[in-house]
Structure 1
Amino acid sequence: MSVARLPAEADNCEFKRAKGMASPILGFSDEDKVGTVQPHDDVLVVTLRIGGYDVKRVLVDQDSVVEVMYPDLYKGLKLRPKDLTACDSSLVSFEGKTVTLKGQIRLPIQTGSNIVEVDFIVVDAYSPYTAIVARPWLHALGAVSSTLHQKMKYPSEGRVKEVIGDQAMAWQCMVFAISRRPSVEPSTSTENGL
């Protein structure tokens, strides 16, 4: 994806909305890396306001086509099976296993003053994340995310607003995921033990 960069003098400026004027242009520069540990291969993990609660460990995944809610968030929001609608789709986990779907629920995600209603698929599977937000939410918000810069930017009220990632939380999630991974036999073996 190609994005244009705002001129330095336009950063943090208020944009006047003339009739027919486009939204602010979203982009990233090296200045957006300040405060991050570089180099890295971290995913973008943020805190979002979902269903009226501040929810930590939310993975922003622009490659995913559905928003997913895991058991920790389902229980934390005190949802019950009757709150869910039936969902006929199937979902395949990172390990290639079919995941049991409990159903679907529509909840608001508030980012600053912006609120976007999102259809979460509720799954019964372990994840170090509480939820995954995906392209449908990003596109509805008009947001662009960058794992390299550990942030997401979106237009709001004529300005460019940001959601900053939490690299330490991303590292913790990776450690949790690795510690839960079943032991695997080596993919190759040799007779002489090398």
Structure 2
Amino acid sequence: MSVSRYPIEESSSMLKKAKIGTLFVLGFSDEDKVGTIQPHDDALVVTLRIGGYDVKRVMIDQGSVVDIMYPDLYRGLNLKPENLIAYSSPLVSFEGKMVVPKGQIRLPVQTGTDVVEMDFIIVDVFSPYTAIMGKPWLHTLGPVSSTLH
């Protein structure tokens, strides 16, 4: 199954238990450009398998120096404060405000046959996204995101 960008959508559930044997391949072809208006500069938003669940509305951000998880996903994965380890460095939000993280958690992220353990920083702020995958994940897997598609 090829994963391309998904528009931000209201959905009854952003999480689906992963189906055994279904692989997410993060890749693009010219078919993925069909229906886009060029020049294309929307955020790259995908579905990824995180912690055994297919998670919608994950933004790929080449500029983020951490992988972020927002409250909807945190609650959807039934994570508890005792699951977190301390993370004391403040972050700067999109609005330029300082954000104090709730903590950090390591979870598996699957792309194709590759499964890597990634550290997510949990922040309790509103976002239309469930998570942001930044440089740590991109450098681990080595993909190149395409704003063209």
Report the TM-score range of the alignment, normalised by the length of the smaller protein.
0.7 to 0.9
Q: Relative contact order (alpha carbons < 8 A, sep ≥ 6): 1 or 2 greater?
A: 2
Q: Distance in 2 between matches of 1:47 and 1:33?
A: 15
Distance in 2 (alpha carbons) for counterparts of 1:100 and 1:136: 20
Q: Displacement, 1:95?
A: 1.0
2:81 paired residue number: 81
Q: Which runs of 5+ in 2 are unaligned?
A: 1-26
* Distance in 2, Cα, partners of 1:55 & 1:28: 19
SS at match of 1:145: coil
Corresponding position: 1:128 with 2:128 = yes
> Contact 1:58/1:132 (CA < 8 Å) preserved in 2?
yes
- In the other structure, the counterpart of 1:52 is 52
User: What letter is aligned with 1:63?
Assistant: G
Map 1:10-89 to 2 at 5 A.
Answer: 31=30, 34-39=33-38, 40-89=40-89
- 3-state SS, counterpart of residue 144 of structure 1: coil
Q: Alpha-carbon deviation of 1:100?
A: 2.5
User: Highest CA radius of gyration, 1 or 2?
Assistant: 1
Asked whether the equivalents of residues 71 and 125 of structure 1 are also in contact (C-alpha less than 8 Å), the reply is: yes
Report what 2:21 is aligned to.
none
Shift of the 66–36 alpha-carbon distance from structure 1 to 2, 3 Å rule, reads farther
Q: TM-score, normalising length from structure 1?
A: 0.59
2:141 aligned with 1:141? yes
**Percent identity between the aligned chains?**
67
Name the aligned partner's letter for residue 138 of structure 1.
L
> Given that residues 91 and 100 in structure 2 are in contact (C-alpha distance below 8 angstroms), is that contact kept between their aligned partners in structure 1?
yes
Considering fraction of residues, name the structure with more helix: 1
2:110 maps to 1:110: yes
TM-score, normalised relative to structure 2: 0.77
The alignment covers a number of residue pairs equal to 122
Could you list the runs of 4 or more consecutive aligned residues of structure 1 that deviate by over 4 angstroms after TM superposition? none
Q: What CA distance in whole angstroms lies between the structure 1 residues aligned with 2:129 and 2:111? A: 19
